Amino acid sequence: MLVLILLLVVSSVLVYISRFNFVPVSVNLGVVSISDVPLFYVIVGSLTVGLVLSYIVYLFNSISTSLMLRGKDKEIKKNKDEVLELTKRVHQLELENEKLKHSPTNESEDPNAL
């Protein structure tokens, strides 16, 4: 609904501008020259070209940002896997340490030994 209201407001503004800007002008686009183009068409055309160019710049920025975030997500996943492997290794070492603490030692204790 908001888009429809915004569309109606924008089109009303364009109609108001078009009523007073039908003076024919000549447009020079580099080598090409177009004559007797209403000024309103030049205004709307430049507005449209500006919007399209800004949207293209936005798309490039959005794509580069998503690629950068994708790389960071892969790096985070790799680091999480590394943390998981290290946690497993610590747990195994703790189990091994407990086994060594509670296993009977076969060494004879000599008070004069180094």
Residues in Cβ contact with 34 at an 8 Å cutoff, skipping those fewer than 6 apart: 26, 27, 28
pLDDT in tens, the chain (114 residues): 899 999 999 889 888 888 888 899 999 988 999 999 999 999 989 999 999 999 999 999 999 999 999 989 999 999 999 999 999 999 999 999 998 888 876 555 666 665
Q: What is the pLDDT of residue 17?
A: 84
The pTM of this model reads 0.60
Helix, strand, coil abundance in the chain, percent, nearest 5: 75, 10, 15
Q: Give 88-102 pLDDT, tens digit per residue.
A: 999 999 999 998 888
The sign of the CA dihedral 48, 52, 58, 61 is: negative
